[in-house]
Structure 1
Amino acid sequence: MASPWTVEQVIGMAPDAASVGAGRKLASAAKWQQLGQTDRLVWGEIKGSGSTPYQTCIDTAGPAFKCSCPSRKFPCKHGLGLALVHAASASAFATDAPPEWVAEWLAKREARSERETRRQTKTAEPLDPATEQRRAAAQEKRREQREEKMQAGVEELQRWLADTLRQGLARAMEQHQPWDHMAARLVDAQIPGLARWLRRCQEARYGSEQWQGTALQALSRLQLILDAYQRRETLPEPVRADLYELLGVTQGKETILAQPGVADTWRVMGKWTGDADRLQVQRTWLRGERTQRWALLLDFAVANAVLPITPEEGAGIEGELAFYPATWPVRALLKTQQGIEPAQPNALMAACDGLDGLYRTYAERLAATPWLERIPVALRDLTPVKVDDHWLLIDTEHRQIPLAPHFPLRWELLAMGGGEPVQLFGEWDGDAFFPLTIADSARLQGFHALHMELS
């Protein structure tokens, strides 16, 4: 039985870099006892600090992890170690019936899944007109109540901004507590997106010595968002959809998946995982081979859950995507999937553009969506260089763009290119470029898994 994951994908599941290092120390079949597998399950036992071995198992259909160790991380180092062993040498696992403790865990998972399926089936059953009318009325009432809370939150934020900035930008930005309190109030008002944007404004104070311009730009965009919300009823529908997405109000997955899908072979161009508001956030950028359309799969997981496993960079997802409404529809859900095609090293090359194309595309998107956060872009023939304390990417015409200061693998990027121009895929936020993938003639290398491995 072949492993469902590569080593890079297992590393991508780790909750932090420390867990990767700890898991690698256990990534040897010789350290494990009773290694076994089925088409769906992987399990093993390993000696811990006590007299009883730790029992670790993985449901690859989830993926989901279970371990008898006391760690609160998911997956723990034992789960990562077991997955790494399986990714490297699946033949070391005996194909056998699972032991009782594995079967019991799987039975509980399947029972929960059955209950959820019954609940969804019951929800999907046709309703009589009276019940449907009552539910629609209740839903509309909840929507109106949320709008009232949001309106009150926007008005409170507007007053707070005016009072805060009246004392001067420098002094206002030095005070942490008022900003944190206001962000919490926005969460209470059910506008988590505004709370996140407010934190970004405050964090600009520590971005660089020239923080004033960055802070003013962020505050100006925040004011634009507040103004747009006050006149939301006059906005075109796609712009209003953008606005509500930014505020943190999104349509349900069922509604999006009910829309017609866009069929293509969707190549994985790059991905990154980070934390936001006590959640794990995973961005996976795709590009359609035939449509040449960009798409973003955005996944979230609470601290003790595992994010969905996506194919490696360069692999193709053959299927349909359903897109969220927007002025530039890019966020999507996987509607149907027929299979996964092997990775193609030239997948990034086919999408590469120059700096002129980057500026043109960003200007077009920004004109349509003035609060645009980032765009995906593949760039050719860029050479990373360090000038004083700044990192730049220089093209063959000696034009330059800044490398994002929070990109963690600057020296590794320089070493991987060997001082020669490289092809990169990443995200451009209007100020700097954050690389996600580097390409050569043999393969695509994602920086996220590399960062987890090297940290």
Structure 2
Amino acid sequence: MNQQGVRWTAEQVLALAPDNASRRAGSKLGAAGPWSGAGCTDAGAVWGLCKGSGSKPYQTVVDTTGPAYKCSCPSRKFPCKHALGLLLLWASDERAVGGAEVPDWADEWLSARARRTERAEAGDGGGGRAAKAADPEAARVRAERRAERISAGATELEQRLADLLRGGLAAAEQAGYGLWEETAARMVDAQAPGLGRRVRELGAIPGSGPGWPVRLLEECALLHLLDRAWLGRERLPAPLAATVRTRVGLTAPAEGPPVRDGWLVLAQYDVKDGMHTNRRIWLYGRESGRTALVLSFGPAGRPPELALPVGAELSAELVPYGGAGQLRAELGERFGAAAPVGGPPPGGSTGAALVSYGAALRDDPWLDSWPVTLSDVVPVPGADGSWQLADAAGGTALPVVSTPLSRPGLWKLAALSGGGPVTVFGECGHRGVVPLAAWARDAPELVPLTA
């Protein structure tokens, strides 16, 4: 239950924005001036009327238990600037957005949303899935045919890699990107989109700067390992075989036992994948001690709809996916709205982070990174413009990977540290760590480093 006295912070609201333009526009609407008829309930509903350029104000309502948004404006962004402005006003001014009776126009959407949730929990609307499950023989035949196509694609890819190594890596730079794109398209035709994605990444390496032959050889080796693992999957342990199926692009439903917990939203950021947008949301269970990754996907031209307030705690169930070392989970039933909480998850040294990443690689050799929480580390700049996270007590240090995601947060992290130790959550990979969130010493507030 979301009590009116426990509201999100402005930073948590702005972390929901789909892009910087929405963040700026929403901030301008975070004052009481353009709003009328605003109110909220203990059950997590927030609503208001925002004056726009037309004669009628925009009707905006938010269900913070999702969160989910509804606005009469024509924007295709979720949340739109009006929803962000309303939440900013709700977060900062209890007099402007106080407890009130829900108006009819807001109640209509909230009630319809509640009915849809009840039907989903009761299993209604799943007739299509039930019909497919009712014919297991047809499903088995479809699965076998797809596996045969993937095997044919993996065999062809093995020949392509052998030709590359036989002719020398220098030929990859001369051939250009077109041949790789053609090979990737053939993998997609073979219904192995995971292989296709990795092939496209290979094609970009020859133009990535000094040292590219080493990087190309590393990625070719991993792709060869994935090919051979797929072709010999019957001999693999069940968890590793499930990981291989996921890596080549076979999707499977989240079927693990649900885990109910208070989940701290550690980080949220978007990654472009061709024309689509993938949103990665990291969660930590206070009681279970589990770290989980929730993915949300947006179609071409639209951001993903799922957005959670970073730094808040959400009482909910997560349903894990299968696979060795997999952290991915699906967000299930939620119990009330997310509320601000204090303090980071338990952390460790940089050496312990490397050990945990190494153990995860043993279960999933194709893992790009692993979530780690580093306690008492100091951000240290190098003479060449690079940064490191060094243990305050001495010992090892982890290089900070310079990416478009990490660069904007480095100065925020340095300012938060002031030369002293901080706690940092991030993704640790073979090139270093990407910081995603931080906490100052003896300060419970999470500071996002990705916005």
**TM-score (normalised: structure 2):** 0.82
Q: Does 1:368 align with 2:369?
A: no
C-alpha displacement at 1:413, in angstroms?
1.7
Q: Which of the numbers 80, 83, 89 marks the counterpart of 1:85?
A: 89
Task: Map 1:290-309 to 2 at 5 A.
Answer: 292=289, 294-303=290-299, 304=302, 306-309=304-307
Aligned to 1:96: 101
Aligned to 1:244: 245
Aligned to 2:389: 393
Are 1:295 and 1:332, in contact at CA under 8 Å, matched by a contact in 2? Answer: no
CA distance in 1, matches of 2:40, 2:339: 25
Aligned to 1:183: 184
CA distance in 1, matches of 2:46, 2:318: 31
Q: Which of the numbers 259, 277, 280 marks the counterpart of 1:279?
A: 277
C-alpha displacement at 1:48, in angstroms?
3.0
Post-superposition CA distance 1:101-140 (Å, at most 9, x none):
x455556656766776787366499x9xxx8995111211
CA RMSD, aligned part only?
3.5
Q: Which of the numbers 68, 93, 98 marks the counterpart of 1:64?
A: 68
Structure 1 stretches of 5 or more lacking a match?
none
CA distance in 2, matches of 1:394, 1:154: 42
Number of aligned residues: 435
Identify which range, 237-246 or 32-41, moves more after superposition: 32-41
Aligned to 1:331: 328
Task: Map 1:226-245 to 2 at 5 A.
Answer: 226-245=227-246
User: Helix, strand or coil for the counterpart of 1:71?
Assistant: coil
Are 2:14 and 2:23, in contact at CA under 8 Å, matched by a contact in 1? Answer: yes
What residue identity is the alignment partner of 2:296? Answer: F
C-alpha displacement at 1:220, in angstroms?
1.2
C-alpha displacement at 1:26, in angstroms?
1.3
1:337–1:73 distance in 2 versus 1, CA, 3 Å: closer
**TM-score (normalised: structure 1):** 0.82
1:113–1:190 distance in 2 versus 1, CA, 3 Å: farther
Identify which range, 80-89 or 219-228, moves more after superposition: 80-89
CA distance in 2, matches of 1:75, 1:25: 15
1:205–1:14 distance in 2 versus 1, CA, 3 Å: farther
Post-superposition CA distance 1:47-85 (Å, at most 9, x none):
333444333333445433333333332222222222222
Task: Map 1:21-420 to 2 at 5 A.
Answer: 21-38=24-41, 39=43, 41-93=45-97, 95-100=100-105, 102=106, 105-106=109-110, 120=124, 123=127, 135-164=135-164, 168-173=168-173, 175-205=176-206, 207-253=208-254, 255-256=255-256, 259=257, 261=258, 267-277=264-274, 278-289=276-287, 292=289, 294-303=290-299, 304=302, 306-310=304-308, 312-313=310-311, 321-333=318-330, 343-345=341-343, 347-348=344-345, 351-384=346-379, 385-395=381-391, 396-397=393-394, 399-406=396-403, 407-408=406-407, 409-420=409-420
Identify which range, 304-313 or 392-401, moves more after superposition: 304-313
Are 2:243 and 2:326, in contact at CA under 8 Å, matched by a contact in 1? Answer: no
C-alpha displacement at 1:221, in angstroms?
0.7
CA distance in 2, matches of 1:61, 1:264: 15
Post-superposition CA distance 1:282-307 (Å, at most 9, x none):
23142554x54x33132213244654
Q: Does 1:424 align with 2:389?
A: no
Q: Which of the numbers 19, 23, 46 marks the counterpart of 1:20?
A: 23
Post-superposition CA distance 1:160-179 (Å, at most 9, x none):
44445555434525723333
Percent same amino acid at aligned positions? 34
User: Helix, strand or coil for the counterpart of 2:431?
Assistant: coil
Are 1:312 and 1:343, in contact at CA under 8 Å, matched by a contact in 2? Answer: no
CA distance in 1, matches of 2:331, 2:241: 24
User: Helix, strand or coil for the counterpart of 1:92?
Assistant: coil
CA distance in 2, matches of 1:124, 1:397: 58
CA distance in 1, matches of 2:145, 2:95: 57
1:66–1:230 distance in 2 versus 1, CA, 3 Å: same
1:103–1:342 distance in 2 versus 1, CA, 3 Å: closer
C-alpha displacement at 1:239, in angstroms?
0.8
